[in-house]
Amino acid sequence: EAAVTQSPRSKVAVTGGKVTLSCHQTNNHDYMYWYRQDTGHGLRLIHYSYVADSTEKGDIPDGYKASRPSQENFSLILELASLSQTAVYFCASSDREDQDTQYFGPGTRLLVL
Amino acid sequence: GDSVTQTEGQVTVSESKSLIINCTYSATSIAYPNLFWYVRYPGEGLQLLLKVITAGQKGSSRGFEATYNKETTSFHLQKASVQESDSAVYYCALSDRRSGYNKLTFGKGTVLLVSP
């Protein structure tokens, strides 16, 4: 059974609209992450969290907000979606003691029109 | 900043043939980063394939091997005999300890297609 799940798996959004991507993990991990991947690029970190009710900025946080209401759930919010946010988004989790070993969800393909 | 460069695009290999996917890295803030290969099978999330934290050491998993070469700053992935089930996207990565978390820097990914 998949330990990191994401919803939706794909989404079409309109420019200027609000988009929420959800992630749920059953690994009992402290750390959770949101990455994006664009064609021809590696994964880039948007936000991460190491405890519920707290989030931290990654390398490319502009245009995104994150929410960690519980240890299991981590959401990525695009308040005003833009064309440049079309990408595949991956959620991941890791244990505090082994942060390098991250467990990823299957990804959400977002198309902003 | 840190960067990882790996074999671009798609690699097609016939079943039972050998494979090498090249990976070189540049770490600006740490002399000897931890190095990884992650793999993404169709429809699934990335998963750790192998990890090496000591320069000069070799990691292996599922028939794949990679050696941490600090002289050439490389971490090439090799397999002697690939199978169709190895078809996936492979990502080379390094980690750098930052304040609060271990930052993973990924390469762009290499698509491996194994033909029967």
Closest approach of A73 to chain B, Cα-based (Å): 17
pLDDT confidence of A1, banded at 50, 70, 90?
low
Indicate which of B47, B102, B110, B111 best probes the interface with A, i.e. most A CBs within 10 Å of its own CB. Answer: B102
Summarize pLDDT for B16-45 with one digit per residue, the tens. 999 999 999 998 877 789 999 999 999 899
Contacts of B108 (CB under 8 A, 6+ apart): A40, A41, A42, B6, B8
In 3D, which of A84, A81, A89 has the Cα closest to residue A58? A89
Structure tokens at A100: 């390098």
- Over 70: is that where the pLDDT of B99 sits? no
What pLDDT score was predicted for residue A2?
59
Summarize pLDDT for A25-70 with one digit per residue, the tens. 999 999 999 999 998 888 999 999 999 999 999 999 999 999 999 9
What pLDDT score was predicted for residue A104?
95
Q: How far apart are the C-alpha atoms of B22 and B5, rounded to whole Å? A: 8
pLDDT confidence of B76, banded at 50, 70, 90?
very high
Structure tokens at A3: 């330990």
CA neighbours within 13 Å on the CB side: how many for B112? 28
Pairing of strands B10-14, B110-115: parallel
Nearest to A104 among B46, B102, B105 (CB): B46
- CB atoms A100 and B101 under 8 Å: no
User: What letter would DSSP give residue B74?
Assistant: B
Q: At residue A36, what is the residue type?
A: R
What pLDDT score was predicted for residue A100?
86
- CB atoms A105 and B45 under 8 Å: yes
